Structure 1
Amino acid sequence: MSERWLSVEEIAAYLGVSKDTIYAWISKKSMPARRIGRFWKFKADEIDEWVHSGGAAEKDGQGKAT
């Protein structure tokens, strides 16, 4: 049986971030997502690979305290 598609709410909870962060990552960081009608859907294994490859990482020098 194949893995089910996750919603924005579910993937945000899975990663521990807000829905707004998910939408920003889709547009700015090429987060792997599929548009199905008006909804975004995700596969957890694709998201895991994206995170492990540094897709969600801050750019050098950004977000660090000085």
Structure 2
Amino acid sequence: MGVAVQMAVREVMDIRQASEYLGISGDTLYRYASEGFIPAFKLGNRWRFKKSLLDAWMDEKSGVKPATPVAVMPRQKKPVARAR
């Protein structure tokens, strides 16, 4: 019986970490970032990827609707009839 080893995922990842997280090659991820297809930014001359933005991007591409908070309005009390 093997022990599952969970990969530590950082919030900001480099090409290697992000490509492992997404399950694609580093070359493909580099091309996606260069073309603006995937959310990424450059820190110096190196691409960086925010996990939260990658997750949101994957949700968008897969058609998952983001969880939107539902506003709950407090109930209005009915006016009380005056005692006579």
Query: TM-score, normalised on structure 1?
Result: 0.68
Structural mapping, 1:1-66, within 5 Å: 4-28=11-35, 30-54=37-61
Identify, as 1 or 2, the structure richer in helix: 1
CA RMSD of the aligned region, Å? Answer: 1.9
Greater than 6 Å deviation, 4+ residue runs: none
Larger Rg: 2
Query: C-alpha displacement at 1:52, in angstroms?
Result: 1.3
Query: TM-score, normalised on structure 2?
Result: 0.55
- Unaligned residue ranges in structure 1 (runs of 5+): 56-66
- Unaligned residue ranges in structure 2 (runs of 5+): 1-9, 63-84
Between 1 and 2, higher relative CO (CA 8 Å, sep ≥ 6) is seen in 1
Q: Distance in 2 between matches of 1:48 and 1:15?
A: 9
Residues matched between the structures, number: 53
